[in-house]
Amino acid sequence: MITLDRATLLSKPPAKPNYTPHGYLIQPDGSTYALCAKWWHGVGLALLYPDTLKSYIGKHEDEAESLTLDCGFDDVDAFAFQRYEFAAAPTLPVIRIANTRVMSDHVCVDLPRMACPSEQTGALMLLLYGTLGLSAHDMVETDLRETPIKDLLVAATRNSEDR
């Protein structure tokens, strides 16, 4: 069975997050979850927000069998959870970070629709600057465009309509 402890490595500020090539999830309280497997953002979201997963399965019953965590590590259907991630993530207060996108060599940061609290943006800064070794002028890819990290941090404090 896949649990949050098995799928991620948790760090809380002021501790610097563990490095992983697979990506991260940052909660509003600043808790940072380093993913233990490639394409597991959806798995992490399912473990952090099980009610959202249940709701998604209720609307997509044909995917219920693929969206199980009652299996071994190598048996998780990462792509089924990725479909769940893309559907559910916009409604969740989580920052998602992928170390690189397929089409660029930039770190990709997906902000939630709502404004991020200072604990969450502080954890994002700790990750980008401390763990990944980036600077304020380095570019990151967002869902809208490439932007310098310093501008991303300002945008994170606003609702998506105001970005």
| CA-based torsion, 45, 46, 47, 52: positive or negative | positive
Query: In the prediction, which pLDDT does 127 show?
Result: 96
pTM listed for this prediction: 0.93
- Classify residue 58 by burial, with Cβ atoms within 10 Å: 0-12, 13-18, 19+: exposed
Which ranges of the chain have pLDDT less than 70? 100-104, 163
Classify the phi-psi angles of 118: left when phi > 0, otherwise alpha if psi is within -120 to 50, otherwise beta: alpha
Q: DSSP state, 39?
A: T
- Rounded to whole angstroms, how far apart are CA atoms 156 and 153? 5
3-state secondary structure of 37: coil
Of 104, 115, 103, 95, residue with least CA distance to 48: 95
3-state secondary structure of 1: coil
pLDDT digits (tens, 9 = 90+) for 68-83: 999 999 999 999 999 9
Query: In the prediction, which pLDDT does 163 show?
Result: 66
Angle, helix 149-156 to helix 118-125, in steps of 10 degrees: 160
Please state, as a whole number, how many other Cβ atoms lie within 10 Å of the Cβ of residue 104.
12
